[in-house]
């Protein structure tokens, strides 16, 4: 079975989507539709902007979503998903690809999410760091210790065995990084991000996103969608909505998601969107399967 997967924030680069815009009439039409929906020419920022432009959460999220979804939809004859999953933001791309969300509704939700998260980031300073070469349970244990001592720090992205991204207050993440290195982590790398995504610090954004999601029609997808919060396959619209809301402050359980997809028959993973990060993670989780870009 073919599994299509969609990347999240961090995969963006200047020039993303320009080749699609110039070579596919369908892609051009969808990009122009996106410009109209957003009320500004996001294509100008994607094609000719700066790294700084693309690092703004309110730009990054719709930009990655557009590149991912349009790259899939523009390959109509090659795009026949039997299961889908997305990493964080990529879950919205996956839902559009599976027919659970329309392109327009998906973009509106992603933009609402981005603006809500930007506000939460500005309200409380937070950060993230990648922990490499330490057992997952040890990372979780250290995060809990830091949080119990008064700072916020959680395991935010469980990407693949030996690679977890932690998230929380600046002090909490700094303290955790020191403890991780003392515990034997090969590296503890601070990330250039605007806030503490997938942590309790995103709670203020939840009410805003919840309102937008409940006002949006989610259809029964044409194939199972493996969602981040529980790594399980979902097809019921109400479950999908609840999981999208919970995802803001919950961990991205990517390792388990990939394992469950393989257990359910996935033998080929196709990444749709900018970058190749998901392929790298998948090859570390299940080296025996094929993983490549669309």
Residue 198 a catalytic site member: yes
Look up tokens 């309200």; give the residue.
Answer: 123
Q: Which of 88, 199, 251, 257 is catalytic?
A: 88
Strand order in the sheet with 126-132: 153-160, 163-169, 126-132, 187-190
Report d(CA 179, CA 186) in Å as an integer: 12
Residue 199 a catalytic site member: no
Q: According to DSSP H, which parts of the chain are helical?
A: 18-23, 25-38, 42-48, 51-55, 57-73, 90-97, 103-123, 136-148, 170-182, 203-214, 237-247, 254-263, 277-285
Q: Which of 87, 198, 234, 260 is catalytic?
A: 198
Q: Which residues contact 39 (CB under 8 A, 6 or more apart)?
A: none
Contact indicator for 240, 101 with CB cutoff of 8 Å: no
Report d(CA 97, CA 209) in Å as an integer: 21
Contact indicator for 249, 198 with CB cutoff of 8 Å: yes
Would you please indicate which residues are annotated as catalytic (active-site) residues? 88, 198
């Amino acid at each position: 079975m073919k599994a299509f997967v969609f990347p999240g924030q961090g995969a963006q680069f200047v020039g993303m989507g320009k080749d699609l815009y110039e070579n596919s009439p369908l892609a051009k039409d969808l990009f122009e539709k996106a410009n109209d929906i957003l009320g500004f020419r996001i294509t100008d920022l994607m094609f000719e902007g700066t790294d700084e432009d693309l690092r703004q959460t309110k730009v990054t999220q719709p930009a990655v979503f557009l590149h991912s979804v349009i790259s899939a939809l523009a390959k109509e004859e090659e795009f026949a998903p039997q299961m889908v999953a997305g990493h964080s933001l990529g879950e919205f791309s996956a839902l559009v690809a599976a027919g659970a969300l329309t392109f327009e509704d998906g973009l509106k939700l992603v933009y609402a999410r981005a603006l809500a998260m930007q506000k939460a980031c500005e309200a409380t300073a937070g950060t993230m760091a990648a922990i490499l070469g330490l057992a997952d349970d040890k990372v979780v244990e250290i995060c809990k210790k830091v949080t119990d001592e008064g700072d916020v720090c959680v395991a935010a992205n469980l990407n693949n065995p030996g690679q977890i991204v932690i998230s929380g207050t600046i002090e909490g993440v700094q303290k955790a990084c020191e403890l991780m290195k003392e515990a034997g982590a090969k590296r503890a790398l601070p990330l250039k991000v605007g806030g503490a995504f997938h942590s309790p610090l995103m709670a203020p954004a939840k009410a805003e996103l919840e309102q937008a999601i409940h006002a949006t029609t989610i259809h029964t997808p044409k194939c199972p969608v493996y969602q981040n919060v529980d790594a399980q396959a979902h097809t019921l619209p109400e479950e999908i909505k609840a999981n999208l809301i919970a995802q803001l402050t919950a961990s991205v359980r990517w390792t388990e998601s990939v394992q469950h997809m393989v257990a359910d028959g996935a033998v080929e993973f196709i990444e749709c969107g900018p970058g190749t990060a998901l392929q790298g993670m998948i090859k570390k989780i299940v080296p025996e399967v094929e993983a490549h870009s669309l």
